[in-house]
């Protein structure tokens, strides 16, 4: 995926101008949605955008404006950004502190709703807690995800995840037992 830093200035400016033309509430909803990813469940957006008064109206505006689309193939109420570039520009425009708060809230909501089957969503939890800078959760779900990746014969993914976990541990000067658990994953050779 291309990051907003890699976009030519004229494209980024055109996207920003299009977003600025939106009314305040749909623009805020679109910004919050960018934290959830290119494709997301309406229920997840609803939980993050709880302060928005007319969420349904904002979604209708965004669909009519062509910023998001309904995923008609999905059995759930799933929405998708019509452009990854729009999502990247929006995501980059959110202040880092607010992004961390939104990622943490979403990950926490996912944990609560999926209690007893967290292994199914450990990749999502790992991603959102990584963006939230929640070291303990990154270690917990990162080690689980690395193990699942190895079990699925995907050593490249296991190594990538283990390296991220180690980076978090080093930054926080994690305890030696956690570091010892993660090191074997980062030392494996890719076949």
Q: Which of 3-12, 78-87, 93-102 has the lowest mean pLDDT?
A: 3-12
Q: Quote the CA–CA distance of 40 and 43 in Å, as a whole number.
A: 9
pTM of the model as a whole: 0.82
Residue 120 is classified by DSSP as G
Q: What is the pLDDT of residue 6?
A: 63
| CATH class name, domain 4-93 | mainly alpha
Q: Kindly give, in sequence order, each residue whose CB lies less than 8 Å from that of residue 38, ignoring residues fewer than 6 positions away.
A: 80, 81, 84, 87
Q: What is the pLDDT of residue 178?
A: 56
Q: What pLDDT digit, counting tens, does each position of 125-178 carry?
A: 999 999 999 999 999 999 999 999 999 999 999 999 999 999 999 988 745 555
Q: Quote the CA–CA distance of 63 and 57 in Å, as a whole number.
A: 10
Upper half-sphere CA count for residue 86 (Cβ side, 13 Å):
21
Q: What is the pLDDT of residue 2?
A: 52
Give the tokens for residue 140: 């917990």
Q: What is the pLDDT of residue 190?
A: 40
The pLDDT confidence band at residue 16, using thresholds 50, 70 and 90, is confident
| pLDDT average, residue stretch 72-101 | 92
Q: Quote the CA–CA distance of 41 and 88 in Å, as a whole number.
A: 18
Q: What pLDDT digit, counting tens, does each position of 24-75 carry?
A: 999 999 999 999 999 999 999 999 999 999 999 999 999 999 999 998 887 7
Calculate the CA dihedral of residues 1, 55, 58, 112 and round it to 10 degrees.
0
């Amino acid at each position: 995926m291309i990051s907003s830093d890699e976009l030519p200035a004229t494209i980024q400016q055109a996207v920003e101008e299009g977003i600025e033309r939106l009314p305040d509430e749909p623009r805020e909803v679109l910004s919050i949605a960018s934290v959830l990813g290119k494709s997301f469940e309406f229920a997840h957006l609803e939980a993050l955008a709880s302060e928005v008064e007319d969420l349904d109206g904002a979604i209708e505006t965004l669909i009519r404006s062509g910023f998001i689309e309904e995923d008609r193939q999905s059995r759930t109420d799933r929405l998708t950004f019509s452009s990854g570039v729009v999502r990247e520009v929006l995501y980059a425009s959110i202040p880092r502190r607010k992004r961390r708060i939104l990622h943490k809230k979403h990950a926490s909501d996912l944990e609560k709703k999926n209690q007893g089957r967290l292994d199914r969503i450990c990749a999502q939890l790992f991603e959102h807690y990584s963006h939230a800078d929640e070291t303990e959760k990154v270690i917990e779900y990162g080690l689980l995800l690395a193990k699942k990746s190895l079990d699925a014969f995907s050593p490249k993914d296991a190594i990538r995840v283990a390296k991220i976990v180690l980076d978090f541990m080093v930054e926080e000067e994690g305890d030696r037992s956690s570091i010892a658990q993660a090191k074997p994953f980062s030392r494996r050779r890719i076949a």
